[in-house]
Chain A
Amino acid sequence: MAAPPAAYKDRHFLAVIGDEDSVTGLLLAGIGHVTPPPDAQKNFLVVDAKTETATIEQAFDRYTHDRKDIAILLINQHIAERIRHRVDTYTDAFPAVLEIPSKEHPYDPEKDSVLRRVRRLFGE
């Protein structure tokens, strides 16, 4: 019933999809990681108003499906809102997807996919 250890034992890193300020702050905390060349992959994506939704979706898929070393994916709530469908249909335990507030967009518990599930379970 429990997930096999192989599913999470190599997961050490956190990944971020966020606006510039959030990414900068989290990188300052030291979560940034770039895999060694040749395929240098960053574990963070900076999203601004010009970033296309397809790029965000691609990054989301890469962090949730392709990379096996990410334990937690942090995503700004207003960005999650842009790919809400993807975030809501994602139900796997690993990596855990966490919606975080950004500077301009204060945290809204009503939009969070997990909190909405909590609400639904308790019939509110």
Chain B
Amino acid sequence: MSGAGDREAVFPTRQSLGLMKNKLKGAETGHSLLKRKSEALTKRFREITRRIDEAKRKMGRVMQIAAFSLAEVTYAVGGDIGYQIQESAKAARFRVRTKQENVSGVFLPQFESYTTEGNNDFGLTGLGKGGQQVQRCRETYARAVETLVELASLQTAFVILDEVIKVVNRRVNAIEHVIIPRTENTIKYINSELDELDREEFYRLKKVKNNKQRDNAAAEQEELGKRRGSDKENEDDTGTPDVLGEREDNDVIF
């Protein structure tokens, strides 16, 4: 943050001050909301990672059991059935469908396994001998695949959540460290400019008032001077002769 340098390009007016104040309030609300979202997601994320860890270990055990049951099949059938099975696989009996789960606005897909009834590619496998083992092996592997599907949905959720959390945290940080300080800087800038304008205006008014007073005083002085001058003139005019005075009248000669 380079102090006053980092601010938005606005004119320092009261209107933009109001805008900026609204923006700051919005940014703060958004920040707290996003922070809460990030926390909720992180909580979920930790839970998922823990479950992944468990599921992975469980998968290790389940796959071991399944491999063992396959070995039983090989033993019972008395030969390798791999080739036969690979050739007779036609349509998937075991499928998954995806649905969504909403975690604080993030859609996490979940895989759900289902089996389509009525098609069985391996009807003839183990017909001669070992049919029971084949059946048991199929069941074991079906359970193993269910575990795998569960694990896959956890893992997908993990990948998506990881990404979303990164995005949300980036936003939280951007608001906290860029938008809020910049808006605050802008508000500070506008306030200082407005104060400056206020001071200028005040000084101007004072100056105007002083000038007016001075002018008024000068005008009054002048007026006063004028009035005094005319008074004197008036005094001069009052020399009307006192007829009854001691002054000797000129004789009247006929």
Contact = CB atoms under 8 A, between A and B. Distances in A.
B92 A13 contact: yes
Interface in A4-35: 5, 8-9, 11-14, 20-34
Contacts of B64: 101, 106
A14 to B, nearest CB: 7
Nearest to A28: B138
Interface in B92-141: 92-98, 100, 105-109, 111, 115, 120-122, 125, 134, 137-138, 141
Nearest to A4: B107
A1 B92 contact: no
A96 interface: yes
How extensive is the interface on chain B, given as a class? 35 or more
Contact of A98 (B60, B92, B152, B162): B152
Given A107-B56, A115-B56, A33 B91 contact: yes
A42 B89 contact: yes
Contacts of A121: 49, 162
A14 B60 contact: no
How extensive is the interface on chain A, given as a class? 35 or more
Contact of A118 (B52, B98, B120): B52
Given A100-B59, A106-B60, A118-B49, A24 B86 contact: yes
B109 A107 contact: no
B158 interface: yes
B190 interface: no
B17 interface: no
A121 B52 CA distance: 14
Contacts of B49: 118, 121-122
A14 B145 contact: yes
Contacts of B34: none
Contact of A27 (B80, B86, B107): B86
B85 A103 contact: no
Nearest to B121: A32
Nearest to B80: A20
Interface string B135-162: 0011001101100110111011011101
B208 interface: no
B127 to A, nearest CB: 14
Contact of B89 (A22, A33, A106): A33
B67 A23 contact: no
Given A3-B109, A118-B52, A21 B152 contact: no
B59 A72 contact: no
A4 to B, nearest CB: 10
A31 B145 contact: yes
B82 A21 contact: yes
A25 B141 contact: yes
Contacts of B80: 20
Contact of B66 (A2, A25, A33): A25
B158 A28 contact: no
Contacts of B86: 23-24, 27, 32, 44, 46
13 contacts: A2-B108, A13-B95, A20-B82, A24-B70, A24-B85, A25-B137, A29-B138, A30-B120, A96-B155, A102-B67, A103-B67, A112-B56, A118-B53
Interface of B: 49, 52-53, 56-57, 59-60, 63-64, 66-67, 70-71, 80-82, 85-86, 89-98, 100, 105-109, 111, 115, 120-122, 125, 134, 137-138, 141-142, 144-145, 148-149, 151-153, 155-156, 158-160, 162, 164, 167
